[in-house]
Amino acid sequence: MFYFSVYEVCKKAVLWREVEHFKGGSGDGDTTDLVVFGDGSMPMVEFAMKDLGDLNFFLGIEARQASSSLFLSQTHYTATLLQRFDMLGTNSISTPITFTPQPSLHHGGLLPDSTVYRNMVGALQYLTMARPDIAYSVSLVSQLMHSSSTSHLQVVKRIFCYLKGIVRHGVLLLPISNLSLSACTDADWAACPDSHRSTSGYALLLGSNVVSWSAKKHPTMSHVSAESEYRFVAYAVAES
């Protein structure tokens, strides 16, 4: 499992392995890897712990630590995807998706084989772990996997063209003393051309560090834009 523990001041990221022995037995049990953000001291735990050293790479996420910062990225994974889907020779662009109009189920002809589309979107979903800038666009293309078309495939390829220009981007975490939690939300009211439902997004910040983000389509229609905004404000507050 993957745990983030935020201490008073985020100075260092250390990887610990917790070994849980089976009750009544002497053999090895399950292991749990924990990423601990703090001063590097031993966390208070019930089970035996093993120090695996400073965090460098975990679940495809690369960590670069400096004296006053921690940078999380998926540079190697991004480069691997660009090569896997033959996107290295494309030109980079400045935005992952055009704002209007949103992709529709009725745009373009259906793909004879949607395997490539599904693989590309599935890979992008994992990439959002350290790339909040593509969360909204990946959310949109994920909604079209059951009826993917040639037009939808071009939208997905545009996201890869965007990533090609900023392969090394990620999330920067800085030491903080202010542990105030804040949230930013936004919604594209009734922007879906098929269901007229809204897609909203939020970002949670601990001090100045972004620690959680998401983009999600609303399950029901909103009659006015204020209703759409307030719905996702409530959702973001619940998540925090």
Mean pLDDT by 10 residues, the chain (240 residues): 36 52 47 61 58 75 84 92 94 85 78 92 92 90 87 93 93 84 78 72 85 79 68 69
- Which token pair is 108? 């373009």
pLDDT at 210: 87
The secondary structure of residue 110, as a DSSP letter, is B
pLDDT at 124: 95
The secondary structure of residue 185, as a DSSP letter, is E
Task: Report pTM.
Answer: 0.74
Backbone angles phi, psi at 47, to 5 degrees: -105, 170
pLDDT at 219: 67
Question: Residue 161 and residue 132: Cα distance in Å, rounded?
Answer: 16
pLDDT at 48: 65
pLDDT at 97: 85
Domains of the chain, by residue range, sit at 4-55, 75-165, 176-239
Contact indicator for 190, 237 with CB cutoff of 8 Å: no
